[in-house]
């Protein structure tokens, strides 16, 4: 007879598929809404200065966001298949940079622009570029379960796109004087005061996003541990750990595979199994997963 309790059990390898689906939808909608809004804004520009639209950080950040969404999209497809959305560290940093940029535009639209020009903040295509698309890219970012802890260095790297725009803006507004000072960088205070303040503000935004990302990752590790039931025999537990290792070997990049000591320690204490035995089971699974991945690549090549 089938044990109903066992039938309802959630396996470690069968992880949080819904997050990949949500990120998948968010990436698709983000890309199409941002691109469509930018195209609409350029097409309806009645002043004949469509090329000037790219002087706005909102436009440039949303283009970068659209690129990021399409870059993440294949990983969301893979995440739905393997039931866990992960991607390499380099992809995380690009995604992170896009999230910082668009979050800055959203904060400024809500907290500053809306006070003196609500239409500019939320009218027509700007409601997508300033609010909806930034929210969607935040959703896709926070749905990722890749085991990469973000640190201060990562935040500084993610600030590179914004810094490049700031340098370009500074040159054209202050030195070349061929751009309008849209963001009043040099209007109410000298640029050598306002620019550092702006960089500090953007860093704080990046720090907040980084903090939420890292805490979500910690909470998901705790959630991962709760899928275990209390009445498993040592053999089934080792098989589960082996499967977790196989999953990592099959789907994660070799250089990014790490031993989840926190999970193994929790399982070791809960089921009174030596940590060394669990480590061997996990590593054996990783090796077998890598071998299976190589075998599939050879079959595909032939």
Per the CB < 8 A criterion, the answer to whether 149 and 212 are in contact is no
Q: Is the pTM of this model over 0.75?
A: no
Query: Given the structure tokens 């298949």, which residue do they identify?
Result: 81
Q: How far apart are the first and last CA of the chain?
A: 45
Per the CB < 8 A criterion, the answer to whether 34 and 67 are in contact is no
Q: How many CB atoms lie within 10 A of CB 118?
A: 12
DSSP letter assigned to residue 123 = S
Q: How many CB atoms lie within 10 A of CB 90?
A: 11
In SS3 terms, 256-274 reads as HCCCCHHHHHHHHHHHCCC
Per the CB < 8 A criterion, the answer to whether 141 and 206 are in contact is no
Taking the C-alpha atoms of residue 198 and residue 220, their distance in angstroms, rounded to an integer, is: 33
Q: What is the pLDDT along the chain (302 residues), one digit of tens a residue?
A: 334 334 344 445 555 667 777 777 888 888 888 888 777 777 776 554 555 667 788 888 888 888 888 888 887 777 666 666 677 788 889 989 999 998 998 888 888 777 777 777 777 777 788 888 888 888 888 887 666 788 999 999 999 999 998 888 888 888 888 778 777 777 777 878 888 888 999 999 999 999 998 888 888 777 666 655 555 677 778 887 888 888 778 877 777 677 777 778 878 887 788 888 888 998 998 898 888 888 888 877 76
């Amino acid at each position: 007879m089938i044990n109903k309790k066992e039938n309802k059990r959630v396996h470690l390898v069968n992880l949080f598929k819904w997050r990949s689906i949500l990120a998948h939808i968010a990436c698709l909608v983000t890309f199409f809404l941002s691109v469509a809004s930018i195209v609409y804004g350029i097409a309806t520009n009645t002043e004949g200065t469509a090329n000037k639209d790219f002087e706005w950080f909102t436009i440039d950040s949303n283009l970068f966001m659209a690129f990021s969404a399409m870059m993440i999209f294949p990983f969301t497809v893979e995440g739905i298949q393997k039931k866990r959305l992960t991607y390499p560290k380099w992809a995380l940093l690009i995604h992170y940079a896009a999230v910082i940029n668009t979050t800055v535009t959203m904060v400024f639209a809500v907290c500053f622009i809306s006070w003196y020009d609500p239409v500019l903040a939320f009218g027509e295509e700007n409601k997508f570029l300033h609010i909806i698309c930034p929210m969607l890219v935040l959703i896709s970012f926070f749905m990722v379960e890749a085991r990469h802890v973000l640190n201060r260095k990562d935040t500084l790297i993610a600030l590179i796109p914004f810094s490049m725009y700031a340098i370009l803006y500074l040159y054209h507004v202050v030195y070349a004087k061929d751009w309008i000072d849209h963001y009043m960088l040099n209007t109410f205070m000298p640029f050598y005061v306002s620019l550092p303040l702006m960089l500090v503000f953007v860093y704080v935004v990046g720090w907040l996003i980084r903090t939420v990302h890292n805490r979500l990752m910690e909470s998901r590790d705790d959630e991962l541990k709760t899928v275990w039931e209390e009445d498993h025999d040592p053999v089934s537990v080792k098989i589960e750990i082996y499967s977790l290792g196989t999953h990592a070997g099959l789907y994660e990049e070799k250089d990014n595979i790490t031993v989840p000591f926190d999970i193994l320690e929790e399982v070791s204490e809960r089921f009174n199994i030596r940590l060394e035995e669990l480590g061997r089971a996990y590593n054996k699974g990783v090796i077998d997963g890598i071998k299976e991945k190589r075998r599939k690549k050879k079959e595909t090549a032939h």
